[in-house]
Structure 1
């Protein structure tokens, strides 16, 4: 029985960013990292929501969800310009250039360097 004057504790939904990984099938043979944002009452709920969406995304396109979801609690009430939406720390003994070459700038990325490249990647 609840004591008078006390309301039950209500879970407050907050913002979370979740990164999910995909493998695109032939002819692409590429990997994709997607970061989506979710309003949820916990990290676990945000991951559950993101994984449901990731499964749908994989079924809609020629890609497989790799069952890896990493979440980040945004902590802010409102999303605004400059808000940090994801952060992941990785320990490494690599020097900065070797680290970038190993994990982020291998030369195999499909990324745009500017408006012209973005247009080219979209096929315009």
Structure 2
């Protein structure tokens, strides 16, 4: 009689957010950051899944994947309103306004300003 071996424990799948960076090909002169969420058993698997999707994304449009993937393990079991899906810490000696201008508000972003009459419009 043959002994049955134990089935290997299946690793629990968790949620991961992965940010990938792309460059739009001509005539555009733009870069794009995309954050996608993945159910995976490890950070490495989540990045692998995101990079596979990045290749498909590039096949569908004028994009080039720049081989930069940053992943974040979501602590929450489920995704819902308010779930933190990505966090990246960066050390800097810049003052807050200078930091925002250097990394997030350079003036070259393709974004619309908030209407002044919106109740949640930010002050400049």
Q: Report the TM-score when normalising by structure 1.
A: 0.84
Runs of 4+ in 1 over 4 A off after TM superposition: none
Residue equivalent to 1:118? none
Residue equivalent to 2:60? 60
Report deviation, 1:72.
0.2
Residue equivalent to 1:103? 103
* 3-state SS in 2 of match to 1:98: helix
Residues 1-124 of structure 1 aligned to structure 2 (within 5 Å)? 8-114=8-114
Residue equivalent to 2:122? none
Equivalenced residue count is: 113
Cα distance in 1 between the residues matched to 2:79 and 2:31: 28
Cα RMSD (Å): 1.7
Unaligned runs of 5+ in 1: 116-124
Unaligned runs of 5+ in 2: 116-124
